[in-house]
Amino acid sequence: MTPGETFGRTIQLFLVDGNSSGLRKATIHGWTGLLFVSGASAFGNLTAREEVDRTGVYILSGPDPDKSGGTRVYIGSGNSVAERIKQSALKRDFWETAITVTTSDDDLSKGHTEYLEARLIQVTAQAGRVSLDNGTQPDTLRRRLPEADVANMEQFLANLRIILPVIGLDMLKPQPKAVTETTQPVEERTSGEVQFEIRHKSGVQATAVEEDGEFIVLEGSEALTNTDYVQRSYGGLKEKLIADGVIVCQDVPPDTNKLRFARPWSFNSPSAAAAVILDRNSNGRIEWKVKGANQTYHDWQQAQARKQEAAE
Confidence class for position 6, pLDDT limits 50, 70, 90: low
Q: Does the pLDDT value for residue 3 go beyond 80?
A: no
**Confidence (pLDDT) at 183:** 81
**Confidence (pLDDT) at 143:** 64
User: Greater confidence, 199 or 81?
Assistant: 81
Q: Does the pLDDT value for residue 1 go beyond 60?
A: no
**Confidence (pLDDT) at 257:** 82
Q: Please check whether residue 294 is in contact with residue 287, taking contact to mean a CB–CB distance below 8 angstroms.
A: no
**Confidence (pLDDT) at 142:** 60
The dihedral through the CA atoms of 23, 29, 30, 31 has a sign that is: negative
Give the span between the Cα atoms of 60 and 63, in whole angstroms.
11
**Confidence (pLDDT) at 90:** 96
Give the count of beta carbons closer than 10 Å to the beta carbon of residue 233: 14
- Indicate the range of 79-88, 168-177, 182-191, 252-261 predicted with least confidence: 252-261
Looking at the DSSP assignment, which residues form a beta bridge with residue 296? 289
Q: Please check whether residue 54 is in contact with residue 103, taking contact to mean a CB–CB distance below 8 angstroms.
A: yes
Q: 37-88: per-residue pLDDT in tens? A: 999 999 999 999 999 999 999 999 999 988 877 899 999 999 999 999 999 9
Q: Domain segments of the chain: what residues?
A: 11-166, 177-311
**Confidence (pLDDT) at 78:** 96
Alpha helices by DSSP H, listed for the chain, are: 43-48, 81-91, 110-127, 147-166, 177-180, 186-189, 235-243, 270-278, 284-287, 297-311
**Confidence (pLDDT) at 252:** 56
**Confidence (pLDDT) at 5:** 61
Give the span between the Cα atoms of 219 and 263, in whole angstroms.
4
Confidence class for position 166, pLDDT limits 50, 70, 90: very high
Tell which residue, 91, 89, 81, has the closest CA to residue 58. Answer: 81
DSSP structure class, residue 288: -
Q: What is the mean pLDDT of residues 98-127?
A: 95
- DSSP codes joined into one string, 150-190: HHHHHHHHHHHHHHHHHTT---SSPPPHHHH-TTS-HHHHT
The values of phi and psi at residue 265, to 5°, are: -140, 135
Global pTM exceeds 0.75: yes
Looking at the DSSP assignment, which residues form a beta bridge with residue 198? 206
Q: Does the pLDDT value for residue 4 go beyond 60?
A: no
Q: Does the pLDDT value for residue 144 go beyond 70?
A: yes
Average pLDDT over the chain, rounded to whole?
A: 89
- Four-CA torsion 159, 160, 166, 171, nearest 10 degrees: -140
Q: 257-300: per-residue pLDDT in tens? A: 889 999 999 998 999 999 999 998 889 999 999 999 999 999 99
Q: 7-27: per-residue pLDDT in tens? A: 789 999 999 999 888 999 999
> Would you call 96 helix, strand, or coil by DSSP?
coil
Q: What is the mean pLDDT of residues 166-180?
A: 89
Q: What is the mean pLDDT of residues 155-163?
A: 96
